[in-house]
Structures are given as structure tokens and as C-alpha cells.
Amino acid sequence: MNSVVLIGRLTKDPEIRYIPTTGTPVAAFTLAIDRDYKNKDGSTTTDFIPVELMGKPAEFCANYITKGRPVAIQGSIRIEKYEKDDEKRTFTKVVGKNIQALDSKKGEKSEQGESPASFEAVDNDDVPF
């Protein structure tokens, strides 16, 4: 099984292109992910993972995802092999199937005029949970 879930921040705005024959959108970006341990000097190491999304998730990226936003990506790892200057090379990337923004844009309002992350607690005995 080839499945991966990553949580990190975009290093820059996604690059959007369209496949010429089908018009399918493709979004490409790099995700910065801190490792979960510290070095001897107390610093953390950051990995930079290339990610590519196609179709509706790519359209979502084009419209809502920007540099610095934390996101969760679910997809698979792909290893592409190619040859350059008579030398065989490999390139590893994540091909995402789903993307989810983990915060809301500052000042972003929902249709009701509230912040998408806000809610109001309900204290009602009629609620079954």
C-alpha cells in the first residue's frame, strides 16, 4: 500500500497549469514540514516535500491556498525516473488526492458573516448529545 498523510506549510503560492489536451488543472507546490525531534543544538530540521494535485483539489489550491498556510495532504509517493546528460536520475514527490486547509484566512467570513472557525456552545436539554 502506498499512502501518505502530510501536514505542513506552503513555501510559496501554488503554481497552477493546465494539461493541454484535457484542460485538467494541476497545482504544484512545496510543503515545509518540521521533523519531530530537535538537534543537539536545539534546532529543528525542516524537510521540503514537492507536492502535485490534479482536478478539483488543484482548483481548490488555486482559489484558497497561499504561501504560509498550514494544510493537510493525503496521497501517495511517486518516484519518477529520467535521464539528463546521459545520467539516470530519480525525483520523489507526493501526488495528492485530497487537501485540507488547517486554518482560515485572516478576515475571511462565512456566508453567515461569522468566522469559519467560530462556533457558539448550545446549552439545551433537548439536544440528544
In CATH, what number is assigned to the domain containing residue 63?
A: 2.40.50.140
Query: What percentage of the chain has pLDDT greater than the value 70?
Result: 80
Distance CA 49, CA 80 (A): 14
User: Does the pLDDT at position 39 exceed 50?
Assistant: yes
pLDDT score at 44: 87
Considering the domain boundaries, does residue 112 fall inside one? no
DSSP assigned state of 44 = E
Distance CA 51, CA 94 (A): 5
- For cell 467570513, the residue is 109
Cβ neighbours of residue 2 under 8 Å, at least 6 residues apart? 76, 77
Question: Which value, in Å, is the radius of gyration of the alpha carbons in the chain?
Answer: 19
Other Cβ atoms less than 10 A from the Cβ of 129: the count is 2
Residues of the domain holding 21: 4-101
Considering the domain boundaries, does residue 78 fall inside one? yes
Residues in the chain, how many?
Answer: 129
User: Does the pLDDT at position 124 exceed 80?
Assistant: no
User: Does the pLDDT at position 7 exceed 60?
Assistant: yes
pTM equals 0.72
pLDDT score at 106: 56
pLDDT digits (tens, 9 = 90+) for 82-114: 888 889 999 899 999 999 999 866 545 433 333
CA atoms within 13 A on the CB side of 76: 6
Considering the domain boundaries, does residue 21 fall inside one? yes
Considering the domain boundaries, does residue 56 fall inside one? yes
Over residues 22-48, the mean pLDDT reads 91
User: Does the pLDDT at position 5 exceed 90?
Assistant: yes
Considering the domain boundaries, does residue 126 fall inside one? no
Considering the domain boundaries, does residue 117 fall inside one? no
Coil/strand/helix, residue 97: strand
Considering the domain boundaries, does residue 97 fall inside one? yes
pLDDT digits (tens, 9 = 90+) for 67-84: 999 999 999 999 999 888
Alpha carbon 94 to chain centroid distance? 10
Considering the domain boundaries, does residue 123 fall inside one? no
What's the total number of domains in the chain? Answer: 1
**Mean pLDDT in the chain?**
83
